[in-house]
Structure 1
Amino acid sequence: MSITVRVIGIGPGGPGQLTLDAVDAIGATDVFLLLDKGSRVAELNTLREELVARYGRDGHRVVRVPDPPRDRDPVDYGAEVRRWHRARGDALEALLRTELSDGQSAAFLVWGDPSLYDSTLRIVDELRDRDGLSLDVSVIPGVTSAAALTAAFGITAQGIGQAVHITTGRRLAQTPAGADANQIVMLDSHLAFTETAADDDHVYWGAFLGTEHQLLISGRVGEVAESIAQARRRGREEHGWIMDIYLLRRASGRQPGGDGA
């Protein structure tokens, strides 16, 4: 069974951030596969379906499958994520075999860019090894949430000659010494910077980037950390979900890897 699979980056959420390549890819696809995470985040799938309705060709179909459950606080994080990926792969394999015919195309719509803290490409790679499936995979890059964040604030991600470290909230405390001048932090439900950063460090925080719900707060950590925490709580309560990201910039003059107290 030969299937074309497109992994399409659709940006952080604003329809205007969809690239022309993504529009073309959506228009060339037969079946769109959505992992459904339930009513709490229904708005996310609604946004995807609006893009498909706007740019999809006549006769396209959208097929949902319940996203397998995942332990968000496991003893072994890596093992749990690998188990979850396998379960997702099993669910998606079943859809490919039952919902598509030989020679048709399927697509996944991925928030931001498929290469940056997203599991879709790993799952698709694993599906290639399954018996009886021949997948021709193409990846369409998307506007990243990191790019949307710096654009929203009108800033560069780094100073002259400096580097940028991209990490997650779970790993923020493990940033190597000397790599903390400019850090873009994703997937941080606990706002780890409140425990690792110095009061004089600067944070640029954004949520729902590019959408009508966009939230932006920036300033010295000691002055805005509580405002960010409150805005994050309100955003999650109001919408049932939140996607946020921040740039943490070390205060001028503070030594790399210095004490954040």
Structure 2
Amino acid sequence: MIRDLWLVGIGTGSPAHVTIEGMQALRDAALILIPHKGAGKDDLAGMRHAILQASGSTAHVVPFDYPVRDPALPYQARVAAWHDEIARRWQAAVTDAAPDGPVALLVWGDPSLYDSTMRIATRLDPAPRLRVVPGITAIQALTAAHAIPLNTVNGPVQITTGRRLHDAGWPEGTDTLVVMLDGEARFMDLPPDGVTIWWGAFLGMPEQILDSGPLTEVRDRILATRKDARARHGWIMDTYLLQR
């Protein structure tokens, strides 16, 4: 049984992104769950281990294999079944280890922004006492890397996903659009005239890649860079900001 579950935001790849509160939580946890996401993604687990080492944590570390989504299911059902299975794997890993104290998960970015770890935690039975330690978001890492503000003066900002951008297009009344979880480079779907993009992949990691400029001029270059990086690493996490 997981009595206390701590979700610690760890930023986007640099141990320096973890707050002092986050580092202390990692030291105070009794057990830490580390997801293994399959072949070609070992560096994600490696980054978590590097952060644990930097924190000085002596917690018992338990790996678990991350499930994959069932592509045969409709999207909402696919995500729900995936979350159910993740919760089951947390529970099984903790039951085998029988920790005497809080269980922690290192959450990429921040547990509150386009992350479902808190939703998955509600599937545990009985429900644990939940503690959330905020972290640096991919949006913060992106704007800092490009040295730009998030918004225009008095201008609205909307955060969305690649799926929503594809399905609904550019939201009305929004000057600045931040796109996350875009596995298909949906900026290619937009009419590019008058749009500027600031793009980044592997933000905060040694492999960080940045590009920016008028969408008409840089979109093909970003697409090629993205394809090459995914081929070399076996995966990619990227985020981008659009303004028009």
Q: Same fold (TM over 0.5)?
A: yes
> 2:238 matched to which residue of 1?
244
> 2:34 matched to which residue of 1?
34
User: Counterparts of 1:173-212 in structure 2 under 5 Å?
Assistant: 173=166, 174-175=168-169, 177-212=171-206
2:121 touches 2:127 (CA, 8 Å); kept in 1? no
With over 3 angstroms needed to count, the CA separation of the structure-2 counterparts of 1:2 and 1:243, relative to structure 1, is: closer
> 1:255 matched to which residue of 2?
none
Q: Distance in 1 between matches of 2:27 and 2:173?
A: 42
Runs of 4+ in 1 over 3 A off after TM superposition: none
Q: Please say if 1:97 is aligned against 2:91.
A: no
Q: Distance in 2 between matches of 1:16 and 1:154?
A: 18
Question: TM-score when scaled to structure 1?
Answer: 0.88
**Unmatched 5+ stretches in structure 1:** 251-261
Kindly provide the amino acid, as one letter, of the partner of residue 116 in structure 1.
Answer: L
The CA deviation string for residues 86-138 of structure 1, in whole angstroms up to 9 with x for no partner, is 0111111112222124x4111110110011111211111221xx1xx462210
Kindly provide the amino acid, as one letter, of the partner of residue 18 in structure 2.
Answer: L
User: Counterparts of 1:53-202 in structure 2 under 5 Å?
Assistant: 53-58=53-58, 60-71=59-70, 73-74=71-72, 76-101=74-99, 103-127=100-124, 130=125, 133=126, 135-173=128-166, 174-175=168-169, 177-202=171-196
> 1:8 matched to which residue of 2?
8
With over 3 angstroms needed to count, the CA separation of the structure-2 counterparts of 1:183 and 1:177, relative to structure 1, is: closer
Q: Distance in 1 between matches of 2:2 and 2:110?
A: 25
Aligned residues between the structures: 243
Kindly provide the amino acid, as one letter, of the partner of residue 105 in structure 1.
Answer: P
With over 3 angstroms needed to count, the CA separation of the structure-2 counterparts of 1:122 and 1:56, relative to structure 1, is: farther
The CA deviation string for residues 38-85 of structure 1, in whole angstroms up to 9 with x for no partner, is 121000000001111221433x221111112213x5551111000110
* Higher Cα Rg, which structure: 1
Q: Distance in 1 between matches of 2:32 and 2:145?
A: 30
Q: Distance in 1 between matches of 2:150 and 2:135?
A: 18
Q: Distance in 2 between matches of 1:200 and 1:134?
A: 49
- 1:228 is displaced (CA, Å) by 0.4
Kindly provide the amino acid, as one letter, of the partner of residue 188 in structure 2.
Answer: T
Give the aligned CA root-mean-square deviation in angstroms: 1.6
The CA deviation string for residues 148-191 of structure 1, in whole angstroms up to 9 with x for no partner, is 10111111111111111000000014156424411000011111
Q: Distance in 1 between matches of 2:153 and 2:117?
A: 34
1:199 touches 1:222 (CA, 8 Å); kept in 2? yes
The CA deviation string for residues 7-43 of structure 1, in whole angstroms up to 9 with x for no partner, is 0000011111111111111111111112211121000
**Unmatched 5+ stretches in structure 2:** none
Question: TM-score when scaled to structure 2?
Answer: 0.94
1:31 touches 1:100 (CA, 8 Å); kept in 2? no
- 1:200 is displaced (CA, Å) by 2.4
> 2:48 matched to which residue of 1?
48
1:165 touches 1:179 (CA, 8 Å); kept in 2? no
Aligned residue for 1:161, secondary structure, equals coil
